[in-house]
Amino acid sequence: MHRLTLTLLAVWGVAAQAATDFSVDAETGLASWQAETDGIQVRLTQISPDQARAFYQARGFSPETAERYAGECVFMTVVRNIGDMPIEHRLSGWRYESPGQPPRAIRSKTEWERIWKQLGVAEAARIAFTWAQFPTAQTFAPGDWNQGMTSYSVPRGGQFDLRFVWRAGDKPHTGKLEQVKCADETS
């Protein structure tokens, strides 16, 4: 297991917790969950199955392979450094937990690449997919932010909590988004 992950797992119980803010976009009806704590802001916004299908079909995925991704619980993920020192994140340390399920890691870009190759997705479409995903690791200077898609193996309409981790200086931190709900087919 990665040293950073082990260190972060050891401090989960002592991390400062901020409340999860919830909002719904009046125009789209899609929901967002956001937390701000210890210099970081993390927001997940639902991406509907139709949006995921259309996005990837427009980039060269067949309807069948686009459905493979749209069948996941997909979110636009935004991370902002709202503190005064650089922060570093590694997606490999993030965990999500559905009711009655153990914590799980987010499927990596490498795992998706393997799936896409097995399904015969063209290289250009695979490159577009990789660029649209949230970065696996990144250092954010104060004021920096980035966004990209993340997906979770949770049924449409299902719910989960997301524990996210990062470092500021030499100190590991963790935060949590609670009661995040996947978009359903009608979103």
> Which domains are assigned to the chain?
3-181 (2.60.40)
Backbone angles phi, psi at 83, to 5 degrees: -100, -165
For the chain, state the CA radius of gyration. Answer: 16
Consecutive sets of 10 residues in the chain, 187 residues long: mean pLDDT of each? 38 54 92 96 97 97 97 97 96 95 94 97 97 96 97 94 95 96 86
Name the token pair of 16: 């400062």
Q: What is the pLDDT of residue 8?
A: 36
pTM score? 0.88
Q: What is the pLDDT of residue 19?
A: 84
Name the token pair of 57: 């079909």
Q: What is the pLDDT of residue 17?
A: 57
Could you give the dihedral angle defined by the CA atoms of residues 48, 51, 57 and 61, in that order, rounded to the nearest 10 degrees?
Answer: -30
Backbone angles phi, psi at 130, to 5 degrees: -60, -45
Pair type for strands 40-46 and 21-24: unpaired
Q: What is the pLDDT of residue 70?
A: 95
